[in-house]
Amino acid sequence: MPPGETPADPSRSWPADATLADVGEFEVIEALTALFAQGEHVEVGPGDDAAVLWSDDDQILVSTDLMVQDRHFRRDWCSAEDVGHRAAAQNLSDLNAMGGRAHSLTLGIAAPAHLPLAWLLELGRGFAEECALAGASVVGGDLTRAEELVVAVTVLGTCRIDPVLRSGAEPGDVLALAGRQGWAAAGLAVLSRGFRSPRAMVEAYRRPEPPYAAGPRAADAGATSLVDVSDGLLADLGHVAAASGVAIDVRREALAVPEGLRAVAAAMGGDPLDFVLTGGDDHSLAATFPAHVDLPEGWTAIGTVGAGSGVTVDGTPHEGAAGWTHF
């Protein structure tokens, strides 16, 4: 939206008594961001994994995420240190998904007065350890009292070349994946049933391991689009397909299904590939590359991009939810 132009009122599209649940997560985001005019310093505003801003001749990447107790984590499932790692990882991964590198983060915490100091310091220790993995510094934040525990993080960074957006995929591209996928979803399923094994799956939920080197490598190799897989592989590929105006097809046979996923699925009577296709929280990366490009280290081809719209699996629409939504 050009500077100075008055945003449209998105509330006119909905009944006056509409709730967030009535509208849905992404429609709410669209309606809210429609209110915000963008200045000349904004290269990429709301709608991608991170915003891209101009400062003199430099491009700055910025992203913000929230974590709410009993919504994004449970203290009986995760240690304070785990929560710190997860809070940092989900933000660092957003910049990774632009082909960039984070250099600074701020940490905001709203907490009940009865929260033990030792627990909060452990969260800080885990947060600092995860930031160190990406070579980023914690440069500030805020602390306030609240009835519920909420962690708010903002991350800033840069990229060596132009950021890779969700909107650049083209027919003929190869779809590829970097990082483990489906592990955290299997771990969540295990914890939800009151168990603690397979341990590798549970630990993957508690502490994701984003492939921090994969985003810049993809950008350097000429990736046409990138996305952080936080809500589910099919769900997040849906954002790429919509933003790029293409159809994306995922090949089941190309997806890695480790024994731990098979064990969890067998115990629950499900298909282990469902964890891979619809699970989030691993913060793997999905990208598209021109067909002639050699995939960089850590990337595996898992599908194709064609003309059309939407996401399919082996040419067929997926039945059921494609991933996580908040409303």
Tell me which H or E stretch contains 279: none
Task: Establish whether 72 is an annotated binding residue.
Answer: yes
Task: Establish whether 166 is an annotated binding residue.
Answer: yes
Task: Establish whether 64 is an annotated binding residue.
Answer: yes
Q: How far apart are CA 164 and CA 157, in angstroms?
A: 14
Task: Establish whether 63 is an annotated binding residue.
Answer: yes
Q: How far apart are CA 81 and CA 150, in angstroms?
A: 15
Residue 205's Cβ-side half-sphere holds a number of Cα atoms within 13 Å equal to: 25
Task: Establish whether 17 is an annotated binding residue.
Answer: no
Tell me, what amino acid is at 188?
A: L
Task: Establish whether 197 is an annotated binding residue.
Answer: no
User: Residue 103 corresponds to which tokens in the numbers above?
Assistant: 């250099």
Q: How far apart are CA 102 and CA 220, in angstroms?
A: 16
Q: Is 15 helix (H, G, I), strand (E, B) or coil?
A: coil
| Angle of CA points 249, 254, 260, to nearest 5° | 120
Task: Establish whether 9 is an annotated binding residue.
Answer: no
Task: Establish whether 70 is an annotated binding residue.
Answer: no
Q: CB neighbours of 181 closer than 8 A, spacing ≥ 6?
A: 229, 233, 255, 256, 276, 279, 282, 284
Task: Establish whether 187 is an annotated binding residue.
Answer: no
Task: Establish whether 24 is an annotated binding residue.
Answer: no
Task: Establish whether 228 is an annotated binding residue.
Answer: yes
Task: Establish whether 142 is an annotated binding residue.
Answer: yes
Q: How far apart are CA 204 and CA 260, in angstroms?
A: 11
Binding site for Mg(2+): what residues are annotated?
49, 63-65, 94, 142, 228, 231
Return binding residues for ATP. 141-142, 166, 230
Q: Which residues are annotated as a binding site for substrate?
A: 72, 281, 324
- Report the binding-site residues: 49, 63-65, 72, 94, 141-142, 166, 228, 230-231, 281, 324
